[in-house]
Structure 1
Amino acid sequence: MTGTTLAHIHWRALDRDGEDKCRLARHEGGFMLLGHARFRDGTGWAALDYVIRTGPDWRTRSADVTGSHAGQDLALRLTCDKGQWTLNGVPQPHLHGCEDVDFAFTPATNLMPLRRLPEVGRIATRAAWLRLPGPSLDPLDQTYLRDRGGLVSYHAWQTDFRTQLAVAASGFVTLYPGLWTAEDG
């Protein structure tokens, strides 16, 4: 059972052929994101399904990615139990202090820190950053600062990437400049 749907969104990629459809639902005292990303990048076509489970505090408890990327099948399971992360059951001590997951292939994973962001102010968080091909999994320190008009300034420290995100009341990003735009939601 995947619970009551709270919001849904459909993004179109701006930097490549692709789309992502995601649904947010209540689940087991917390929340669940269920998504389907389809895109073509420099390595070929990808068809990835993801499920992210959070607690009521919007911090990630587990995340799964299945499908194919660059002609390779993927089946990844990330779990966080009392701050200890594992990838397919293998401990990932370098992810200590991570509160969220950040899947580089979708804007969906910005939802968790955006839901924790106060109406006025900023938050700093660390995410377990999953990139493909690989997979590559590293910590990513991020800052979110709420601006006026539904905009949020975003900074990823390890890459010094900065942008201004447009955000819906649901917490979903509606415009990730140069990367994603919402078709609905």
Structure 2
Amino acid sequence: MPLPIAVFWERSDVPGAEHALLEPRDGLYAQGTLLAAAPVPFTCHYEVRTGPDWATARLDVRAEGAGWARGVRLELAAGRWRVTGSEQGDLDAELTRNGHARAGLPGCDDPDLLYGAFDVGLSGSALFATLPIRRLGLLGSEVGVSHRLSVAWVLVPSLEVVQVDQIWTPLAHDQVRVADETSSVDLTCDDEGFVTDRPGLARRVTVAS
């Protein structure tokens, strides 16, 4: 069945974009595509599903570029993440050719490190910020009250999965601050919790329904 909502973001850090089709009823089901020219030119397709509480239940990601393709699947079962990665070709050769460090392998060596993560993140994506915003009800909640989260973070284009600690703080009716060990950024959102502006990453340019 065709998904009813389309959202499009233009990248501001590198040439690129994100397009997502989604159904936000009873949680979220979304299919999306990331395009970026750096660190190497690639396309990344994702499919994510949450429960009615907006906690992530499953994420499938596939990234591909010249001479390589990678995939990763995260599934939550009995409170623990099952992580499956796949690789074809040689992403490292393409990265080093473009002057970048080698990538980690797709997936996660020890999925138990992700225990306690109710949200997933995808680097370069503006959509995934919506998951903790909606799960915690941050829009309209008390300003300045912070929430510390553990997130299963998927690095793109390597699709390595790492555990990341983040602090989410509502600032105003349409703004939320997200911070980690190295950075902090103030997101601007619409009334449904979807990002309209993530400084340094992306700005939403079209919305259709």
In the superposition, the TM-score normalised over structure 1's length comes to 0.87
8 Å Cα contact 2:71/2:159 also seen in 1: no
Cα offset, 1:38, TM superposition? 0.8
Q: Structure 1 vs Structure 2: percent identity of aligned residues?
A: 25
Correspondence 1:131 to 2:131: no
Runs of 5+ consecutive residues of structure 1 not aligned to the other structure = none
Mean alpha-carbon deviation: is it higher for 14-23 or for 122-131? 122-131
User: In the alignment, what sits opposite 1:63?
Assistant: 59
User: Which residue does the alignment assign to 1:40?
Assistant: 37
Q: Which runs of no fewer than 5 residues in structure 2 stay unpaired? A: 86-107
Task: Return closer, same or farther for 1:32/1:49 CA change in 2, 3 Å cut-off.
Answer: same
SS in 2 for 1:110: helix
Instruction: Figure out how many residues of one structure are paired with residues of the other and give that number.
Output: 179
Report what 2:114 is aligned to: 95
For the pair shown, the structure with the greater C-alpha radius of gyration is 2
1:164 aligns with 2:207: no
Task: Check the 8 A contact 1:111/1:173 in 2, yes or no.
Answer: yes
2:47 to 44, 51, 55: 51
Question: Which range is displaced more, 84-93 or 119-128?
Answer: 84-93
How far apart are 1:69 and its partner, in Å? Answer: 4.2
Q: 2 CA distance for matches of 1:30 and 1:120?
A: 19
Is the contact between residue 83 and residue 98 of structure 1 (CA under 8 Å) also seen in structure 2? no
- 1:26 offset after TM fit, Å? 4.7
Distance 2:79 2:65 in 1: 29
Deviation at 1:57, TM superposition (A): 0.3
1:9 positional shift: 1.4
Equivalent residue, structure 1, for 2:203:
181
Once residues 21 and 162 of structure 2 are traced to their aligned partners in structure 1, the CA distance between those partners, rounded to angstroms, is 26
> Distance between the aligned counterparts of 1:76 and 1:136, measured in 2?
8
> Per-residue CA shift, 1:20-75, capped at 9, x if unaligned?
01122157x54212111111112x21111101100000000000012304642122
- Specify which structure has the higher proportion of strand: 1
Contact 1:128 1:139 in 2 (8 A): yes
CA contact (8 A) 2:154 2:161 kept: yes
Q: Is the 8 A contact 1:48 1:69 kept in 2?
A: no
Q: Which runs of 4+ in 1 moved over 6 A?
A: none
**Range with greater deviation from structure 2 (94-103 or 118-127):** 118-127
Instruction: Give the SS at the match of 1:10.
Output: strand
Deviation at residue 105 of structure 1 after TM alignment: 2.2
